[in-house]
Amino acid sequence: MLYLIPTPIGNREDITQRALRLLGDVDLILAEDTRNSGSLLKYYEVETPMRAYHAHNEHALVEQLVAELKTGATYALITDAGTPGISDPGFLLVRACRDAGIEVSCLPGPAAFVPALAASGIPCDRFHFEGFLPHKKGRQTRLTYLAELPNTFVLYESPHRIAKLLGQLEEHCGPDRQGSVAREISKLYEEITTAPLAELHADYKARGKVKGEIVVVVAGK
């Protein structure tokens, strides 16, 4: 059995009682960063052993993990924050488990794009989740595609690239298209700003260095 267990994207209290129970009951926790996850597990007094499972070793570990799970082991997969597999490692292992007849269960829980979208004030009855754009090759192609979508779209971006991204969105979508930038979701300094893309670009360009994980929501054409 493989459990996909979402972990808090900000406030530690966002984790569910069921998630904590399962993290304590499984044989092993696969963690994207054992140091980061170790802090959370220590806070909740979870003593289950951990093993690193991340983007740099997932291809090499999948076959071994499937073999271990087929012997009857029960593992949990967690990432640094949010739901495994959503712009984070997880898909390869889930697919391999499904192919091998191993049961997979994903608990409901935090995913950064959901609160960012819901609190943006931009229509969210239909939306396109893009996640992270390519850094170089294919980036302009994706931006051109997204700009023409009739529905709201959602992007993830790192803090040191946010001003550049907003400038590119302004260029492709136009300065008056509504956008929203959500930063530090569920943390003490949570900030969600909705405004025309030109205003958002000017704001973040003037700020210089910013911190925190960032979600960008843009209205459809």
Enter the tokens of residue 110.
């935090």
How many other CB atoms are there within 10 angstroms of residue 42's CB atom?
10
Give pLDDT tens digits for 17-46: 999 999 999 999 999 999 999 999 999 999
Percent of the chain at pLDDT exceeding 70: 100
Strands 28-31 and 50-52: parallel
Q: pTM for the complete prediction? A: 0.91
The dihedral sign for the CA sequence 82, 25, 16, 35: negative
The domain ranges of the chain are: 2-106, 113-218
Q: Are the C-beta atoms of 82 and 110 separated by less than 8 Å?
A: yes
Residues facing residue 178 across a β-bridge = 196
State the Cα torsion 189-192-198-201 to the nearest 10°: 30
The pLDDT value recorded for residue 212 is 87
**Superfamily of segment(s) 2-106:** Tetrapyrrole methylase, N-terminal domain (3.40.1010.10)
Query: Cα-flanking dihedrals φ and ψ of residue 52, to 5°?
Result: -70, 130
Confidence of residue 151 (pLDDT cuts 50, 70, 90): very high
Coil, helix or strand at residue 61: helix
Coil, helix or strand at residue 144: helix
Question: Side by side, which strands form the sheet with 75-78?
Answer: 50-52, 28-31, 75-78, 2-4, 104-106
Based on DSSP, count helices (H) and strands (E) in the chain, helices before strands: 8, 10
Reported in sequence order, the residue ranges of the chain that DSSP labels E, i.e. its strands, are 2-4, 28-31, 50-52, 75-78, 104-106, 127-132, 152-157, 178-183, 191-196, 214-218
Give the type of residue at 186. S
CATH (one of 3.30.980.10, 3.40.50.1820, 3.90.1310.10, 3.30.950.10) for 113-218 = 3.30.950.10
Give which of 111, 107, 96 is closest to 22, Cα–Cα.
107
Which residue carries 């959500």 as its tokens?
Answer: 182
Confidence of residue 199 (pLDDT cuts 50, 70, 90): very high
CA distance 102 to 95: 10
Q: Using the predicted structure, report yes or no on whether residue 208 has a pLDDT greater than 90.
A: no
